[in-house]
């Protein structure tokens, strides 16, 4: 493919715009700058934009120093104005794709971004890459189809592709650069162009034959995890009735060097991907008359784990002659996974709501990464000996490394450990 855009992407210094400066978009913008390109970070939040331009990162994986270096190069700036896309050669869309209350995909953020960018796209040539996780066909139907026309023609001056984000917040080993980047264009020409671009940004690019294949890759990855987590959660429920320690079983099974991969039970699943992506796939499959029984069952099992945690806590307290109603319950950790400040789809929120609204408990929490819960207008309390003593029960929802588990064991009356954070046996500790 020979065109001015292909030459700029292959060997020039393209101007890149990343729409959405959150957990996916900001790390991508930083990697683009490190590759030597100019990057405009577009975000609809003026507060976020002002913070980024002042050198303040709101993402745990991007430190202020890293952001400061990018700003100092003069190759990065944040903006809330879509008109700044006018000279961009490459545009990446990294916006949220939540589920509606009816459990069908909410692609309104993608649609809004596409509508907002269309008047400003570079008619000399632009590559648009969707990175937001969604169902197969979205890139074709909601991006390529909507952008074509009005001076933009596919494979002439408009190129469209999908590349699934594989961000794992808090992962110190694998980041955007050293995680293989799957790419797929709506046309072979778009696939070639997006492969060339990301080949200059990340260590390894894996092209597939279409954007639909690339979209399905992401859904397979997270459905695999959701189904296996559901399996081990169901095994936990069974072992709980049998009086078998599921954690010991997993540890023993993990000694097998082949044919087994350990997954771990817990209070539920969280984050933007694992709870949502299988439902996206199941929703789309129904339009083809196909029903995903594994996905539906896994979603049901994982979604009911917060309720199992509360019911288990109620039984433990009942055994001690206490009612859950009116009792003070301290939740340790509210983020959906350890050592990050991400609350999205966290099972801790469901546990809080069940304890508060259905059981009438007095709920407080401590999380060093999350100082305030807007959902319940609650602040993180200080984890003191007095607070631990006052609590009727402590539930370890997230196993942050910052917690002093020795202190917790010494001063808490009753501990329900939903994450196997406490490895030693204690009279006041019960594993989920």
Compute CA distances 134 → 145, 214, 218, 280, whole Å.
Answer: 16, 10, 9, 7
Q: In which residue are the tokens 């139907």 written?
A: 141
CB distance 269 to 347 below 8 Å? yes
Burial degree of 377 (CB within 10 A; 0-12, 13-18, 19+): exposed
What φ, ψ does residue 94 adopt, rounded to 5°?
A: -130, 65
Active site residue 39: no
Secondary structure of residue 376 in the 3-state scheme? coil
Strands 158-162 and 181-185: antiparallel
- Say how many CA atoms lie within 13 Å of 273 toward its Cβ: 23
CA 159 to chain centroid, in Å, comes to 27
Which member of 39, 94, 273, 409 is catalytic? 273
CA 285 to chain centroid, in Å, comes to 23
DSSP 380: P
Q: What is the CA radius of gyration of the chain?
A: 24
Compute CA distances 5 → 9, 31, 131, 254, 363, whole Å.
Answer: 6, 21, 21, 50, 57
Beta partners for 206? 182
Burial degree of 280 (CB within 10 A; 0-12, 13-18, 19+): buried
- Positions annotated as catalytic residues are 273
């Amino acid at each position: 493919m020979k065109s001015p855009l292909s030459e700029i992407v292959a060997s020039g210094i393209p101007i890149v715009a990343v729409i959405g400066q959150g957990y996916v978009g900001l790390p991508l913008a930083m990697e683009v700058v490190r590759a030597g390109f100019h990057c405009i970070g577009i975000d609809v939040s003026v507060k976020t934009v002002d913070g980024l331009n002042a050198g303040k990162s709101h993402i745990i994986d991007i430190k202020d120093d890293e952001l400061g270096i990018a700003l100092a190069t003069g190759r990065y700036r944040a903006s809330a104005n879509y008109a700044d896309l006018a000279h961009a050669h490459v545009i990446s869309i990294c916006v949220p794709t939540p589920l509606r209350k009816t459990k069908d995909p909410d692609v309104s953020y993608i649609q809004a971004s596409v509508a907002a960018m269309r008047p400003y796209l570079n008619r000399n040539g632009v590559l648009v890459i969707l990175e937001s996780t969604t169902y197969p066909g979205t890139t074709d139907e909601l991006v390529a189809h909507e952008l074509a026309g009005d001076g933009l023609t596919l494979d002439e001056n408009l190129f469209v592709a999908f590349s699934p984000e594989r961000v794992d917040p808090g992962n110190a080993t694998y980041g955007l650069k050293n995680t293989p980047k799957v790419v797929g264009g709506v046309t072979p020409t778009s696939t070639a162009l997006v492969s060339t671009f990301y080949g200059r940004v990340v260590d390894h690019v894996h092209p597939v034959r279409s954007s639909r294949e690339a979209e399905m890759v992401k859904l397979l990855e997270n459905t695999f995890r959701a189904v296996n987590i559901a399996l081990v959660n169901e095994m936990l429920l069974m072992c709980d009735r049998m009086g078998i320690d599921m954690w010991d079983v997993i540890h023993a099974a993990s000694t097998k060097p082949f044919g087994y991969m350990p997954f771990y039970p817990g209070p539920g699943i969280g984050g933007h991907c694992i709870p949502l992506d299988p439902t996206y796939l199941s929703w789309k499959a129904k339009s083809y008359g196909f029903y995903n029984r594994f996905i539906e069952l896994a979603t049901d099992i994982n979604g009911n784990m917060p309720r199992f945690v509360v019911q288990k806590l109620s039984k433990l307290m009942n055994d001690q002659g206490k009612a859950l109603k009116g009792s003070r319950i301290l939740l340790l950790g509210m983020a959906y996974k350890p050592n990050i400040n991400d609350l999205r789809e966290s099972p801790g929120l469901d546990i809080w709501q069940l304890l508060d609204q259905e059981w009438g408990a007095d709920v407080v929490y401590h999380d060093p990464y999350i100082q305030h819960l807007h959902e319940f207008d609650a602040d993180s309390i200080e984890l003191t000996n007095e607070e631990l003593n006052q609590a009727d029960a402590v539930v370890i929802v997230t196993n942050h490394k910052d917690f002093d588990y020795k202190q917790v064991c010494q001063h808490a009356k009753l501990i329900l450990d939903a994450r196997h954070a406490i490895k030693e046996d204690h009279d006041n500790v019960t594993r989920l």
